Amino acid sequence: MDVEIRPCASAEEVSHAITPIRYYFGRTGPDENQTEQLIRVLPAERVYAAWEGDRAVGGLGAFPLQLTVPGGRVPAAGVTVVGVLPTHRRRGLLRGMMRALLDACHQRSEPVAYLWATEDTIYGRFGFGLASFTGDIDLSRERSAFHAPFAASGRVRLVSPAAAEEYVAPIYDRVAGVTPGMFERSSPWWHNRTLADPDWRRGSGGELQCAVLEDEGRPSAYALYRMNWAFDRGLQSGAVAVIEAIGESPQATGAIWRYLLDIDWMARVRAGLLPLDHPLLLLVAEPRRLGFSLRDGVWVRLIDVRTALSARSYRPEGSVVIEVADQFCPWNAGSWRIGRDGVDRTDDAPALRCDVTALGSVYLGGFTWTRLASALRVQELASGAAAHADTIFEASSAPWCPEIF
């Protein structure tokens, strides 16, 4: 039977489209409530499915997001719910769905797509480049002392997740506005994703908790976490599972983490999706006790090179000409002069040559041109060009996306 790839036209079709990815989590199709929650933040027409008759055998979607980049924000497609049933693998269905999605993004002037990859070999063929690393920690409370005495200002109070948006959203907005890799959260996003607490999310953990740090009556940091309590022969062996902890200043960040590290009855504190420059790496007295471990973070795809690169800032150290190859989105191919004065096509000789995946890797500031050249992902055509490009593209912080979407 032929397979047709097209966007969904209703909530019922969305339910069919996300069934293939749920298969890999050991679940059947979503119920009506789960689908309704999803389409509040992911419109049906932004979900694509591979239809075999009236059955979806593959699907993917793209949240409409506003992505923070160095020096600005840009409309971005947050690619999600990607899956093809194992009965239909190796038939080009993912390629067809990605083709439809990226073409639609290009037509609606959405110049960037980014995602979390379930496998790190899938998305490079579609032009996505690894744009960040992220880290996990697993710290014994007994070894959680800071490197110097710390006097937290303000007070921490517990807030119901159902009532938390008014306290936590402004803090998140202030941090997300200046942190590459983070995105703007709408009120529906807070209620249907970040602060939602369905049973399937809890696993073996407790209910979602929200702690807010207030300084002179003004919220300045918050933490979302779960308490996984346990005892072994009367000794505490449970852990605090930190989902998200964000402060708008170094002092507020230190205070909210000090609160998390001091919760009684817990033996350990665990957290994931932390940026490589997270303050805890230097806040604690024994950094190796964090057990900081790396994994790949977000992957970025420039759908429209000119618009995407024009949305971010550059240092005032001239410009660099880069020749870009892009087989999947050929409208991007060619040489581009990039710098503080703008991004334009040029016939000038290039100083660097790369695939579009390299642009995705440097876009948020997670990697440098020199590092890519040393990994043979960029060809340096003029001596010192990679180092010069590093100066132009320099970002002030590591990319950070604190949630998988």
Catalytic center residues: 123, 405
Kind and range of the H or E run holding 158: strand 155-159
CA angle 306, 324, 355 (to 5 degrees): 120
CA-based Rg of the chain, rounded to a whole angstrom?
Answer: 22
DSSP 163: G
HSE-CB for 316 with a 13 A CA cutoff: 0
Please write down the long-range contacts of 6-10, taking CB distance under 8 Å and 24 or more positions apart. 6/48, 6/49, 6/51, 6/100, 7/44, 7/45, 7/46, 7/47, 7/48, 7/49, 7/100, 7/104, 8/44, 8/45, 8/47, 8/48, 8/49, 9/44, 9/45, 10/44
d(CA 82, CA 94): 8
